Each structure stands twice: as C-alpha cells, then as structure tokens.
Amino acid sequence: MQRRFRLSRSEDFKRVRRTGKSYAHPLVVLVVQASEIKENTRVGIAAGKTTGNAVSRNRAKRLLREAMRNLMPSIASGWDLILIARPALVTATLADTRSALTTLLKRAQLLSVDESFG
C-alpha cells in the first residue's frame, strides 16, 4: 500500500477510533470514519500486544497492508479506515485476510465494485 494512502498521525487514529463505526471479524476489526480529505481513502493499521510478540505483530500488519493493496482501487474514496489485527490473524493466510477484509468492507458498504479473490 502506498504511503499516501496511509493514516499515520496519532490525532487521526484517535478521531477515527472515538467517532468511527466499527465492524468486527474473527481476524480483524475495521473502524470507519468519513475523512476530512475527500479525494482519497486513508488506511491505518494497528496490532496490539494481544496479537503476540513483535514478529507476530509485524507479520499481521504486513498481511493487512498486502491485502488492502489489492482492494484499494475498489474502495469508495473519502474515508479513513483503521484495521486492528486480532490474535488469529497471525496464523491466517493472505487469502483468509483478503476474504475477511472484503466481508468487512461490504458490511460497511465501502466496496464500489464487487471483487472476488480466489
């Protein structure tokens, strides 16, 4: 995922967590908030210590970034998203992660085109 699509400021994370709507899945939690910047969608990725040690947290974040990279063109613009890794994500495959994100984005009604990944 390109850096311009990343949510990185602490204030933005706090705003989205405080006022956004959350959608849960066994692998990941999605928090959605309308963005102040309307031209693109920004994504922030978090993995807390409950996810595991540093190696596990980094693997979870890499999985989420790679899965989002393929989904970004089909996501509606003008949103700030936060993806929070859950402990089960560490043992999941890329296909499982992509499927979980697709499910969450459909529930949040953010996918502009139905994408199916196999």
Tokens 């602490």 -> residue: 10
Q: Per-residue pLDDT averaged across 6-15, rounded?
A: 85
Q: How many helices (H) and strands (E) does the chain have?
A: 3, 4
* pTM of this structure: 0.88
pLDDT digits (tens, 9 = 90+) for 43-89: 999 999 999 999 999 999 999 999 999 898 899 888 999 999 999 99
Contact 111, 74 (CB under 8 A): yes
Determine the Cα–Cα distance for residues 23 and 55; give it in Å rounded to an integer.
26
If DSSP codes are grouped into helix, strand and coil, which group holds residue 48? coil
Residue 79 phi, psi (nearest 5) = -130, 150
Quick check: 36 pLDDT over 60? Answer: yes
Q: What is the pLDDT of residue 114?
A: 52
Beta bridge partners of 85: 28
